[in-house]
Amino acid sequence: MTTQTEVVFANRDCVIDDGCDYTAVILWQMNQRARAISRSAYIPRPAPIQVTKPREVTVKKTRQRKPESTQYRYANTLPLESLIAIMTGRWLSSQSILDIIKTEHPQYTISPRALAIRINSMLESPSVDIEKRHITTAKEYKLNSVDPVYLERSKRGGGK
Q: Does residue 64 lie within any of the structural domains?
A: no
Same structural domain, 45 and 79: no
**In CATH, what number is assigned to the domain containing residue 125?**
1.10.10.10
- Kindly state the percentage of the chain with pLDDT values over 70: 76
Phi and psi dihedrals of 92, rounded to 5? Answer: -135, 140
Total-model pTM:
0.51
Residue 140 belongs to what domain range? 70-156
Residue 21 has pLDDT above 60, yes or no: yes
Q: Reduced to 3 states, what is the DSSP secondary structure of residue 102?
A: helix
Q: Does residue 96 lie within any of the structural domains?
A: yes
Count how many domains the chain has.
2
Band (153; pLDDT cuts 50, 70, 90):
confident
Q: Does residue 65 lie within any of the structural domains?
A: no
Give, for 51, the enclosing helix (H) or strand (E): none
Same structural domain, 4 and 28: yes
CA dist., res. 146 & res. 144, Å (int): 7
- Mean pLDDT is lowest, of 6-10, 58-62, 92-96, 109-113, for 6-10
pLDDT of residue 15: 53
pLDDT of residue 91: 92
Closest CA to 97 of 107, 82, 133: 82
Q: Could you tell me the maximum CA-CA distance found in the chain, to the nearest angstrom?
A: 96
pLDDT of residue 24: 92
Q: Which residue has the higher pLDDT, 14 or 148?
A: 148
